[in-house]
Structures are given as C-alpha cells and as structure tokens.
Amino acid sequence: MGIIALEKASGLYWLGRYNERVYTTLREFFVGYDRMIDESEDSYKELCSMLDIPDVYGSKMEFINKYPFDEKNVDSIISNLTRTYDNAMVMRDVIGTETISYVELALSCMKAARYSEAPLLELQEVIDYILAFWGYVDDSIDDRQIRSIIKAGRRIERLDLYLRFERPVSMLEREFAKLKSRMELTGLSYDKTVISYLEQAITENKINYSEAILKLENIVKL
C-alpha cells in the first residue's frame, strides 16, 4: 500500500485498542455478572475500580443494565464499541468494506441486545463478531504493516487491561511476548524503553501495576 499517513496510523491503532477493550471488558462483565448473582449489592464496585471507571451506578442492577448499554456514559461498553466503529469506518480504503462489516454487525447487535429479554445471551454474538473481525483482518489484509498497527493496538489494550485486573504473571508474560514481537512490525516509532521496563518487571515478577500501566499507555504517541 505504500506509506501510511499519521491520521490513518492513529485510526488503525485506536481501532485495535477499542475493539479489544470491548472484547475483554465484555468477557470480564460476563464473569462479574455471574459473581454478582450470588454476591453482595456492592460487588460491582470492584469491577469499576479495576477498570478505573467512575462508579456512577447506584446499585448492582443499575450497573448491570447500564455499563454495557448506556450510550451517554463514555465509559460504557457500547461507547467503546461506537469508538471502534468511528475508527473503522474511516479505514475503508485500508481494511476493506467486508472487514468493517463485522464492526457494523457488532454495533447493531449491541444496540438490539439492550432490548432483549436475555441481554447476556445476545451479547455473546457481539463477541462472535469481534472475533470474526480479527479473523477477517488476518484473512484479507495483505499489508503486514497495516495488520500490525491494528494488532499492536489490540496487544497494548489487552496487556493494559490484564495489568489492571492483576492477572497471573504467566498470562502477562504471554501477552507481553505477543506485544513485543508485534511492535517491531508496525513501522511506528515507539518508546523501546517501555518494552525493556515491562520485560524486566514481568520476568522478575516485580510489577508496579500503576507505573506499568502508565508507561504502557505512553508507548506510542499517535
């Protein structure tokens, strides 16, 4: 495809990040929702805290109803999916109509799920479309740099969220390894010292989570 403009690179990167944010937070929401069935009224607060989103919910039920679907709340899952869509639709010439269509499908499914009698069952389809999107990225985008920029966004977001969730080191190691190899393929200038820092912290299992998240957030300037 030749060279990639800054605006395009930024769009691809954030497309990857937001898409992954929707995927991982939705899966985490499923787990949290299941726990909330049996746990106390305040149990949702822990999830808010891990995600570093303000607790604007008055109750467990309000969280369950609003966190996925409230379009007016910038932290809701649907708001993140809308941002995925916003970044995808300006990339049609780069990633193709067919690839974008899976984001369109995920968003319309998300909107429909809100009015379903069993939203969680419907939301599974959103996850399916996100995975189909990634499958189509691999299958149809020949340009390695373009693929890598989207995937770098995905990897950074995944590691960021796993750090927030304080996932086991084995999981962090796996995600970090994927991120490290991916960054080299992006052709973007990025802060290599962050890679060294994370490598050491994760390998030695001496992780300052908030510091690691902050550094990771600033690895690419786009």
Partner 1 sequence: MKQLFNQSDAVNKLLERYGVKFGIYKNGTFKEQLFPFDSIPRVIEKEEFDYLERGLIQRVTALNRFLADIYGEKNIVKDGVIPEEFIFSSSGYMAECEGALPPKAIYSHISGIDLVQAKDKTWYVLEDNLRVPSGASYPMIARNLCRRASPSTFHDIPVADNRNYAALLKEVMDYVNTGGINVILTPGRYNAAYFEHSFLAEKTGSILATGQELIVEDDYLYYIGCNDEKQKVGAVYRRISDEYLDPMNFCADSVIGVPHLYSAFKKGNVALLNAPGNGIADDKGIYYFVPKMIEYYLNEKSILNNAPTYLPFYEEDKKYVLENFDNLVIKDVAEAGGYGVVFGKDLEGQKKEDFINLVKSEPRRFIAQEVIDFIDIDIMENGERVPRKADLRAFVLTGKEVKVWKSGLTRFSRNPDSFVVNSSQGGGFKDTWVLLR
- For binding to partner 1 (CB under 8 A), which residues are involved? 2-10, 86, 89-90, 92-93, 96-98, 100-101, 104-105, 108, 187-189, 222
Measure the CA–CA gap between 216 and 160, rounded to whole angstroms: 7
Q: How far is the CB of 158 from partner 1 (least distance, A)?
A: 23
| HSE (side-chain half, CA atoms, 13 Å) at 136 | 15
Pick between residue 65 and residue 101 the one whose CB is nearest to partner 1: 101
Tell me the C-alpha to C-alpha distance, in Å, between residue 154 and each of 34, 97, 157. 26, 20, 5
Which is nearest to 163 in space by CA: 152, 172, 150?
172
Pick between residue 43 and residue 79 the one whose CB is nearest to partner 1: 79
Q: How far is the CB of 138 from partner 1 (least distance, A)?
A: 18
SS3 call for 190: strand
Pick between residue 28 and residue 122 the one whose CB is nearest to partner 1: 122
CB neighbours of 131 closer than 8 A, spacing ≥ 6? Answer: 23
| HSE (side-chain half, CA atoms, 13 Å) at 6 | 4
CB count within 10 Å of CB 142 equals 8
| 76-96: burial string, b at 16+ Cβ within 10 Å, e else | bbbbbbbbbbebbeebeebbe
Q: How far is the CB of 139 from partner 1 (least distance, A)?
A: 16
Pick between residue 165 and residue 190 the one whose CB is nearest to partner 1: 190
Single-letter code of the amino acid located at 5:
A
Pick between residue 25 and residue 99 the one whose CB is nearest to partner 1: 99
Pick between residue 28 and residue 128 the one whose CB is nearest to partner 1: 128
Q: How far is the CB of 201 from partner 1 (least distance, A)?
A: 29
Q: How far is the CB of 146 from partner 1 (least distance, A)?
A: 12
SS3 call for 74: coil
Q: How far is the CB of 90 from partner 1 (least distance, A)?
A: 5
